[in-house]
Structure 1
Amino acid sequence: MPVIVLEARDFSSPLFIVRTLEVLSCCTVFSLVASMSEDLNPSNFSTFRVFCMFTWCFFFVVTLFIHLLNTIQFHNLIRISWKNLTMTVAVMGALMSFSSSAVFPWMVMDHQKVSARAVAAAVISGLTTLAYASEFFVLRCQADEQKGYMGSTPGLLKILQLWGGVQMIPLVVFILRLSSGLHHWQLWLSCTSYGVCVLMSLVTLVVILGDFAGRCLLPFDKFLACFSLIGVLLYMTATVICLTKILQLNGQKNSQTDLVIMETVVSSVTLLAYTVDLAFAIKLLCDRSHM
């Protein structure tokens, strides 16, 4: 297949503009943060700084890759579901950028000496979130056959599930450092639940992006329903453990309290996503059984 470069009018399309803004804003924000180590909180929050930097750098590379492939129309030659990939990156980029925009000013910045570069980085991170959200709305307005599975409600719920699992990585790592007052079985049970759910989300994403649904040993709808049920059970367990941690803190106000509350909120949101996704999966199975 010949390589076709976009026409001049395509460079002014909404999709081209928002992806350009995403690349520029990601590049700007991680460059600012990398250059101001002396302005950041030096005490306990290096894990969250790494999380924020990884988010901006990762989505800069992925978005630039998608932008270049779409510009030269080379994406037709790769064996990936392009419509599902672009929707996944747009939604996940918006969610992850939103997380970084909240975590960076709250935990990473040194509020004793806030510099202009730190404020600029926080603002540009928020603009990055808006850029990815704008790409999602542009893709969402396309025809149903162009949005793919990830543009449907069950697909968006699966992206939300993956986001929730990824958020738990820096939280669990940091809480493990401060776990002197908590039972270790609670921590390891939570870690196991989050790890299994992240693995299931990644497997589902690979199957969808690679168009491997027809090659699964089980029918794909039963495959997804099974994963959703396991996710509900595991996150239900993790949420109960999070509530137990809050009770064990006995109203004490410290850095660990904020982290446990954050873990409880993210765990509850992810549990809700798995529950709604399970309801969609059961409805789909029931509809097909009556056909």
Structure 2
Amino acid sequence: MTQRSIWPAILLLLLTTCSWGGMFPVAKPMLESMDPFTLTLIRFVPTSAGLLLILFCVEGRQAFRFDGRLLRLIFLGTLGFACFNLLAFNGLQNTKPEHGAVIMATQPMIAVLITWIYRGLRPGTFTLASIGTAFAGVFLVITGGDIERAFGGGKVLWDLLFFAGATCWVCYTLGAQSFHDWSPLRYTAITSLFGTCSIAAITLGLVAADQVSLPEWSTLVEMRWQFAYLILPTGIMAVLFWNTGIKMLGPINGVLFINFVPVSAFTIGIIQGHSITAAEVTGAGLVMAALIANNLYVRSRIRHSLDSSPTAN
């Protein structure tokens, strides 16, 4: 990759992760007037429609074939879009946006553990230490340094919903490996369709059971700019920018940009007047430091492997 082509990739990934960091602070006030289920449904109907339209324009009608993998697509779409978003927004309703952003930054570490469990690929000692450090940072963020108060009030359980949602998204992302013959756009658009169908089924089922209610039209009009942000920058554009940036810069380099999710979330929180404790800042710092340290470690191992291979001489 030339120096000239690096900067567009960096810009795309920065825009993506900063917009993701702003997603939770923007959505948090909306949950005071709307439940997480209808918010998620209203967000993803136009998001998936936009992705499908882009897919049709880029790859044509043939990209809408399922290639005999319909059930897998339904499962992964439900896991990635329905489970992730419903768990995250239900957690967000009862906790701080900054907590969710920090937990989302641990996704590379979660991916390592899932790969170990399902494929038996045990990570190195340094990586395991980095994972432990990252999770210790998350624990410090969600408890605020006061473990008894966090567990006594049950607040930590809402943060655990974020963690469960992040795990669902990682599983969805790893599931893309079984669609290596598909473009990232095709995989994302098709699974978003089935994920939105699952969100609709769950939400409308809850409406029929009188557990949630559809919002008034005046409420939607009042929140039009917030929805525009959740649909365009953090939905359609973020997915396309992230896939393009990762392809240009490579996954090892690209994953480092996930650190900007908590950075932007904390920055927005401070601007909004949220109280950020020293324990939360320290915990977020531990998560980011662990991710960077492990990234450097992986780089050194790859470089050492290449230098010691017979073809390197």
- Per the normalisation by structure 1, the TM-score is 0.32
Higher RCO structure (Cα 8 Å, ≥6 apart): 2
TM-score of the two chains, using structure 2 as the length reference: 0.30
